[in-house]
């Protein structure tokens, strides 16, 4: 099956290429992609080999929305014309037979999946636009961490880093009735944190974050979510947590070993949490429902939107370090 996909090469170049997907089997569905969401942190960690998940060339992307075009005879619960969201694609090759590493390959005009064995595949709830829905993973990751740590009504919560995962944490904690303090060095991201429900904003490049936090919470925060994934941010984030507080490793710090100042969490007897992934179907369903109902105003996070033909240029801009918060690729209507 010949389709189009966004491909990354070892020299950090990007191209929209014709690729070949395998012939669908009786257990598969074929989905025509309408939108795929960009996860800048994770995808570019793979593109830049901070996270090594396969040999070049790569097809990245782990979240998308589309319409079912074909259903295998063994598939139950889905029909052509159903709108779905998904997290994976099948194997693919270039026309010359070169294998492409799938990471997880949703930046593609079509996906072929086994709904039973897939990492994530379900009907899309009504009332949420395709472009917003295609960005469902990052807020689900944040919600999963919040669910694990279980901050309570009235708790002071620090969200350290307001990328898309951090913004999802801000919204989830705000909806629980927490006092949410958002910290970042980017004024635009802090403005988004306000829209997601943050009560206090701290610009770490212009303010003494420790002084401001301890003015808000004299004993330190009850819960700290470290959402940057930057090793150098771990120790400063630990300093904001109160004795017997909670610390959530909400970021991903790469394949290399991580070192931090043990004395800070040890002396304060901090409980730590290690959420991984997006909480699977319950968290995905919850964030999509909240998007549809306006509880999660995720449309504010989409700062860049492009069609598939222009996707390589968008990825080159991101790779150069141009500021992009949330981005969506439109494949079809």
End-to-end CA distance of the chain: give it in Å, rounded.
20
Same domain, 221 and 312: no
Structure pTM? 0.94
In the chain, what percentage of residues exceed pLDDT 70? 100
Looking at the domain assignment, is residue 289 inside a domain? no
Looking at the domain assignment, is residue 278 inside a domain? no
pLDDT of residue 147: 98
Mean pLDDT value across residues 287-308: 96
pLDDT of residue 333: 62
Same domain, 141 and 119: no
Please give the structure tokens belonging to residue 13: 């170049």
CATH at 228? 3.40.50.720
**Last residue of one domain, picked from the residues 239, 257, 273:** 273
Q: Count the domains in the chain.
A: 2
* DSSP line for 242-284: EEEEEEEE-S---SS-----THHHHHHT-EEE---TT-HHHHH
CATH at 36? 3.90.180.10
**What's phi and psi for 241, nearest 5 deg?**
-95, 135
Looking at the domain assignment, is residue 282 inside a domain? no
Same domain, 144 and 214: yes
**Last residue of one domain, picked from the residues 230, 256, 273:** 273
Same domain, 6 and 45: yes
- Over residues 30-71, the pLDDT tens digits come to 999 999 999 998 899 889 877 777 899 999 999 999 999 999
Same domain, 84 and 149: no
Three-state DSSP class for residue 84: strand
Q: What is the distance between the alpha carbons of residues 207 and 187, in angstroms, rounded to a whole number?
A: 12
List CB contacts of 125: < 8 A, sequence separation 6 or more.
285, 288, 289, 292
What domain range is 174 assigned to? 137-273
Q: What is the distance between the alpha carbons of residues 186 and 293, in angstroms, rounded to a whole number?
A: 28
Looking at the domain assignment, is residue 53 inside a domain? yes
Eight-state DSSP code of residue 97: S
Mean pLDDT value across residues 164-192: 97
Burial 108-145 (b: 16+ CB within 10 A, else e): bbbbbbbbeebebbbebbeebbbbbbbbbbbbbbbbbb
Q: What is the distance between the alpha carbons of residues 83 and 267, in angstroms, rounded to a whole number?
A: 51
Three-state DSSP class for residue 103: strand
Q: What is the distance between the alpha carbons of residues 201 and 191, in angstroms, rounded to a whole number?
A: 8
Q: What is the distance between the alpha carbons of residues 115 and 25, in angstroms, rounded to a whole number?
A: 12
């Amino acid at each position: 099956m010949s389709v189009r996909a966004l491909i990354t090469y070892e020299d950090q170049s990007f191209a929209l290429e014709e690729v070949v997907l395998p012939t669908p089997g009786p257990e598969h569905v074929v989905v025509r992609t309408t939108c795929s969401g960009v996860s800048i942190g994770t995808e570019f960690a793979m593109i830049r080999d901070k996270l090594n998940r396969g040999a070049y060339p790569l097809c990245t992307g782990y979240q998308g929305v589309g319409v079912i075009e074909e259903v295998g005879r063994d598939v139950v619960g889905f029909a052509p014309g159903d709108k779905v969201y998904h997290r994976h694609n099948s194997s693919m090759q270039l026309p010359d037979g070169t294998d492409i590493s799938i990471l997880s390959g949703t930046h593609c005009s079509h996906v072929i999946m086994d709904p039973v064995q897939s990492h994530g595949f379900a009907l899309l709830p009504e009332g949420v636009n395709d472009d917003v829905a295609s960005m469902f993973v990052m807020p689900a990751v944040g919600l999963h961490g919040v669910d694990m740590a279980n901050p309570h009504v009235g708790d002071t919560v620090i969200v350290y880093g307001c990328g898309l995962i951090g913004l999802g944490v801000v919204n989830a904690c705000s909806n629980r009735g927490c006092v949410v303090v958002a910290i970042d060095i980017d004024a635009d991201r802090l403005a988004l944190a306000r829209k997601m429900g943050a009560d206090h904003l701290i610009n770490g490049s212009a303010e003494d974050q420790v002084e401001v936090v301890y003015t808000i919470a004299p004993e330190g925060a009850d819960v700290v979510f470290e959402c940057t994934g930057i090793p150098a941010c771990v120790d400063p984030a630990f300093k904001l947590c109160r004795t017997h507080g909670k610390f959530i490793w909400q970021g991903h710090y790469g394949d290399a070993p991580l070192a931090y100042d043990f004395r800070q969490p040890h002396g304060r007897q901090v409980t730590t949490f290690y959420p991984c992934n997006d909480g699977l179907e319950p968290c995905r369903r919850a964030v999509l429902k909240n998007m549809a109902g306006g509880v999660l105003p995720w449309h504010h996070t989409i700062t860049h939107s492009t069609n598939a033909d222009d996707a390589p240029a968008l990825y080159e801009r991101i790779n150069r370090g141009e500021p992009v918060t949330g981005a969506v690729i439109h494949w079809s209507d």
